[in-house]
């Protein structure tokens, strides 16, 4: 395996301003007097490197900062401190319920995302490949995504992610809501992509899957990186959280 570093996250800190005192209007603001905003740290001093062809598992409880880390790596969120360097292209990040336009139909979402990521120009069979992998019927794909069950959304999201010929595949928990048959099919496909030498960032609540897919992993807790290293070891630490 080549040792070329494709993703480097160096001492990254991300915070958000939060209004958690219920100040929602100018009148509230005047009567409240103080600033209603507090700064909340979401990621604190995170460093991790991923080499070309490696698969990194990202584990942690809900709210520990996994999706924020993926968004920071993808350049959607700018860190307040630290540096992210990426040498490669991404597939769209389609987490559960994020990344798909609810008002658009399945087909419209496919067309939009393929156009955004330039896949349609390179692969004219992309729409057909997505339809086939998702096993969603023509009728379903003509419906707005807001009418889909969570399993149908997962099928569409995952199939679109796979259709992209990008260097880095990002999977953010999309497998969690698929049925078992579809999950198994997706894992097989991820495994194949891994063996083709692509780089994978894999967020999952199933340590067994992370151990199977990823050579290394990190464990986040309240935005801190509490373990990193060999995926089997990190998965064991994750299991001990519960
Ligand atoms: N845009 C945002 N503004 C304010 N807080 C956010 C935003 N996005 C995420 N958060 C907060 O950041 C924390 C980590 O969220 P997230 O990265 O989605 O965690 P995970 O993917 O591990 O479940 C949560 O407490 C969440 O409420
Ligand atoms: Mg998340």
- Specify the pTM: 0.87
| Ligand 1 pocket, Cβ-based, cut-off 6 angstroms | 16, 18, 42, 60, 62-68
- Please choose from 14, 20, 42 the residue to mutate so as to test ligand 1's pocket, defined by most ligand atoms within 8 A of CB: 42
- In the chain, the domains with their CATH numbers are 5-239 (3.40.50.300)
Q: Residue 162 — φ and ψ, nearest 5°? A: -70, -25
pLDDT, tens digit, for every residue of 60-105? 999 999 999 999 998 889 999 999 999 988 776 665 556 789 999 9
Higher pLDDT, 120 or 14: 14
- Residue 210, C-beta contacts closer than 8 angstroms, at least 6 positions apart: 57, 59, 202, 204, 217, 231, 234, 235
Could you tell me the pLDDT band of residue 1, with boundaries at 50, 70 and 90? Answer: very low
pLDDT, tens digit, for every residue of 180-193? 888 888 889 998 98
């Amino acid at each position: 395996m080549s040792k070329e570093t494709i993703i480097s996250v160096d001492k990254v800190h991300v915070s958000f301003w939060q209004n958690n005192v219920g100040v929602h209007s100018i009148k509230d603001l005047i009567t409240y007097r103080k600033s209603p905003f507090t700064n909340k740290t979401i990621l604190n001093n995170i460093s991790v490197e991923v080499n070309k062809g490696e698969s990194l598992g990202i584990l942690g409880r809900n709210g520990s900062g996994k999706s924020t880390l993926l968004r920071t790596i993808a350049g959607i969120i700018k860190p307040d401190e630290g540096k992210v360097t990426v040498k490669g292209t991404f597939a769209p990040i389609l987490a559960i319920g994020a990344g798909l336009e609810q008002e658009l139909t399945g087909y419209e979402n496919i067309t939009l995302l393929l156009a955004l990521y330039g896949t349609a120009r390179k692969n004219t069979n992309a729409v057909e490949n997505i339809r086939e992998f998702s096993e969603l019927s023509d009728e379903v794909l003509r419906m707005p995504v807001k009418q889909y069950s969570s399993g149908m959304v997962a099928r569409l999201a995952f199939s679109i992610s796979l259709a992209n010929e990008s260097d880095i595949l990002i999977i953010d928990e999309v497998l969690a809501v698929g049925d078992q048959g579809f999950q198994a099919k997706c894992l097989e496909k991820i495994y194949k992509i891994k063996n083709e030498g692509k780089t994978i960032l894999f967020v999952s609540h199933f340590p067994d899957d992370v151990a199977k897919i990823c050579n290394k992993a990190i464990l986040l807790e309240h935005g801190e990186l509490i373990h990193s290293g060999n995926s089997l070891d990190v998965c064991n630490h994750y299991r001990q959280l519960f």
